[in-house]
Amino acid sequence: MNNKTYFIGLMSGTSLDGIDVAIVDIQSVQNSKHHSIALIASQSVVLPDNIKSQLIHLSFEQNVNMQTLGETGVQLAQLFAQSINALLAAQGIDKSQIMAIGSHGLTIRHQPYGAFPFSLQITDPSLLAQLTGIDVVSDFRNMDIAVGGQGAPLVPAFHQALLGETSQGCIVLNLGGIANITVLNPGADVIGYDTGPANTLLDVWCEKHTHKAYDKNGIWASTGRVIPELLTLMLAEPYFAEVYPKSTGKELFNLDWLFNKIDEYQTISSTKLNKKLIPPEDIQRTLLELTVVSAALQIKQFTHTHTLFVCGGGVHNQCLVEQLQQQLPAHQIKATDEVGINSDALEAMAFAWLAYCRVHLISANSPSVTGAKSKVVMGSWYSAKSEKVS
Ligand SMILES: Nc1ncnc2c1ncn2[C@@H]1O[C@H](COP(=O)(O)OP(=O)(O)O)[C@@H](O)[C@H]1O
Ligand SMILES: [Mg+2]
C-alpha cells in the first residue's frame, strides 16, 4: 500500500458561494480504528458569475440545456484544477505527495425519494485528474443510495471521526446553504440530518433586495423584526415535522417557496397588506429566525449534551449566532475553531477524509444517518496515470 498521507478535499455546497479546497494529512493510528487528521492548508475560491448562473439554470430548470450540462462540468474541473495547483504551489507541496483528491462536485439534483432515487453532482473528474496529475475520487453519494440510503448527509461520519472521542458527546451544527446537525453520543449510533434552510434563503432574499451576495455579519437582518405569523406559516412546512433520517435542499427551500409563504401570509393577514409594504429586512429577520428556531427545536431533543459546535459560513453571521444562543440558553455554543478545527474548511476536509476511506476501502457511510441498509465503500476512482504514445 502506498504510504502517501496527504489528501485533498474539494467542496462546493448549496450556497454556490465558492469552492473550498483543503489539503489534509490523514494517517491511521496503530492498533485503533481511528485516524489522525490534520489540516495542512485551505483556501476558498469564489465561483465566477457565469458558472454560478449556469448552475442555477441546471439546478432549477426542468428542461436543462445539455450543452450547458456538459460544458459546466468541464469548466468546474478547470477551476478546481487551477485552485488546487495554485494552493499546492503556494504551499510548496508537490503533487507526488498527494494520494488522491476527493471531489464532491456541484449538486444540481438531489432526489433520494421516489421510484428512481438519485443524486447528481457535476464536474469532470477525468479532466481534473489529468490537469492536476493526481488521482480523483468522485460520485460519493450514489453508492449509499444504491443500498437504500439518502446519500446525504455524508459529513456526520467525518464529525464522528474528528470529535467522536469527546466523553460527554456533542452536537455539531453546520450552517451552510442548508443547516444540518450531527449528534454524537458515546456508545450510541451517530445521528445526523438536515434541520432546514440556513444561508440559501437568507442569500437569495438579500441579493434580491440589497444586490449583495449575502448579509455580511447579519447586519441587515438585525435591522428588521420577526413577523410571528409568517414564521408560523414557514414552520408549518411538513419537512420540519418529518422524523429523521431526512435531507433537503434548494429543490424545496427556494425563492418560489418563500414567495408562496409571503402570499399565504398576505391572504390570511387581516390587514391584507400590500406585498410592497412588508419591509424586506423584516422578511430577512424572519428567515434568520426560521433557521434558528428549526435548528434549535431539533437540538433541544438531544439532552445528553449541552456542547454545541457550529461550523459553515453561517458562523460569521453574528445575528444568527446570537439568536441561536438566545434559543438555546443552556448550551455552550462554540465555533469548531475553538477546538482547532477550521470551521470554513471542515466540509472540504470531510471530502479529503472520504477519499482516504475510498482509497483504503473503508465503508464510510453511516446507515443510522442516511437510512442505508448496509455500510458501503463510496466513490469512483479516476486514475491520473498516463503513458506517452510514441
Ligand atoms: N461574514 C459573513 N456574514 C454573514 N454570512 C456569511 C459570512 N460569511 C459567509 N456567510 C454565509 O455563508 C455562506 C457560505 O457558507 P458555506 O458553509 O460555504 O455553505 P455551502 O456549504 O452551502 O457552500 C454564504 O453564502 C453566506 O451566506
Ligand atoms: Mg460554500
| For range 370-384, the mean pLDDT | 97
- Domain residue ranges in the chain: 6-154+347-382, 164-339
Of 27-41, 179-193, 353-367, which gets the smallest average pLDDT? 27-41
**Residue of 199, 219, 291, 311 with the most ligand 1 atoms within 8 Å of its CB, for mutation:** 199
Ligand showing the shortest atom-to-Cα distance for residue 314:
1
- Are the CB atoms for 200 and 15 separated by under 8 Å? yes
Residue 231 to residue 288: CA distance in whole angstroms = 10
**Spatial distance between the Cα atoms of 353 and 102, rounded to a whole number of angstroms:** 8
Q: How far apart are CA 349 and CA 26, in angstroms?
A: 10
Q: Which ligand is nearest to the CA of 336?
A: 1
Nearest ligand, CA of residue 214?
Answer: 1
Q: Which CATH class is domain 6-154+347-382?
A: alpha beta
Is the preceding omega at residue 48 within 30 degrees of 0, hence cis? no
Q: For the residues of 311-341, what is the DSSP string, one character each?
A: ESGGGG-HHHHHHHHHH-TTSEEEEGGGGT-
Helix, strand, coil shares, percent, the chain, to 5: 45, 20, 35
Any binding-site annotation on 223?
no
Q: What is the mean pLDDT of residues 128-146?
A: 98
pLDDT, tens digit, for every residue of 235-257?
999 999 999 988 888 889 999 99
Q: How far is the CA of 267 from the centre of ligand 2 (A)?
A: 36
For the CA of 215, the nearest atom of ligand 1: 4
Lowest mean pLDDT, pick from 22-36, 102-116, 203-217, 373-387? 22-36
pLDDT at position 284: 98
The pLDDT of residue 34 is 78
CA of 180 to the centre of ligand 2 (A): 14
15 annotated to bind ligand = yes
**380 vs 166, higher pLDDT:** 380
pLDDT at 1 over 80: no
- pLDDT exceeds 80 at position 33: no
Q: For the chain, first and last CA: distance in Å?
A: 31
What is d(CA 349, CA 141) in angstroms, rounded to the nearest whole number? Answer: 16
Where are the extended beta strands (E) located within the chain? Answer: 6-11, 18-28, 35-46, 98-103, 106-111, 118-122, 136-138, 170-175, 178-184, 191-197, 307-311, 332-335, 380-382
C-alpha cell at 131: 490537469
- Across the range 348-368, mean pLDDT stands at 97
| Domain 6-154+347-382 identical in fold to domain 164-339 | yes
Determine if residue 175 is labeled as part of a ligand binding site. Answer: no
Could you tell me which residues are beta bridge partners of residue 192?
A: 182
Helix (H), strand (E) at residue 92: none
Give the ligand at the shortest distance from the Cα of 176: 1
Identity of the residue numbered 220: W
The closest-lying atom of ligand 1 relative to the alpha carbon of residue 320 is 4
Cβ–Cβ < 8 Å for 169, 182 = no
**Residue 274: band (very low, low, confident or very high) from pLDDT cuts 50, 70, 90:** low
Q: What is the pLDDT of residues 285-324, one digit of tens each?
A: 999 999 999 999 999 999 999 999 999 999 999 999 999 9
- Among protein residues, the one with the nearest Cα to ligand 1's atom 9 is 313
Q: pLDDT-based confidence at 2, cuts 50/70/90? A: low
- Pocket around ligand 1 at a 6 A CB cut-off: 13-15, 17, 176-177, 199, 202-203, 214-218, 312-314, 316-317, 347
Asked if residue 14 belongs to a known ligand binding site, the reply is yes
Q: Which of 154, 250, 316 to mutate to test the pocket of ligand 1 (most atoms within 8 A of CB)?
A: 316
Nearest atom (ligand 1) to Cα of 177: 22
Phi, psi of 58 (to 5 degrees): -65, -30
CA dihedral 134, 98, 92, 27 (to 10 degrees): 170
Look over the chain and give the mean of its residue pLDDT values, rounded to a whole number: 94
How many other C-beta atoms lie within 10 A of the C-beta of residue 49? 8
Pick the atom of ligand 1 nearest to 202's CA: 27
The answer on pLDDT for 273 being more than 80 is: no
Q: Which of 5, 294, 309 is nearest to 162 (CA)?
A: 309
Distance between CA atoms of 23 and 362, rounded to whole angstroms?
A: 20
- The sign one gets for the Cα dihedral 215, 221, 227, 228 is positive
- What was the pLDDT predicted at 269? 82
Give me the pLDDT at residue 30, please.
Answer: 79
C-alpha to C-alpha distance for 68 and 127, rounded to whole angstroms: 17
Residue 80 confidence (pLDDT) above 80: yes
Residue nearest to ligand 1 atom 18, measured at CA: 313
What is the spatial distance between Cα 341 and Cα 334, in angstroms, rounded to a whole number? 11
26 annotated among ligand-binding-site residues: no
Whether the predicted pLDDT of 29 surpasses 90:
no
In testing the pocket of ligand 1, which one of 11, 17, 172 has its CB within 8 Å of the most ligand atoms?
17
Q: Does the structure show a pLDDT above 70 at 258?
A: yes
47 secondary structure, DSSP code? P
Q: From 3.30.1060.10, 3.30.420.40, 3.40.50.720, 2.60.40.10, which CATH number describes the 164-339 domain?
A: 3.30.420.40
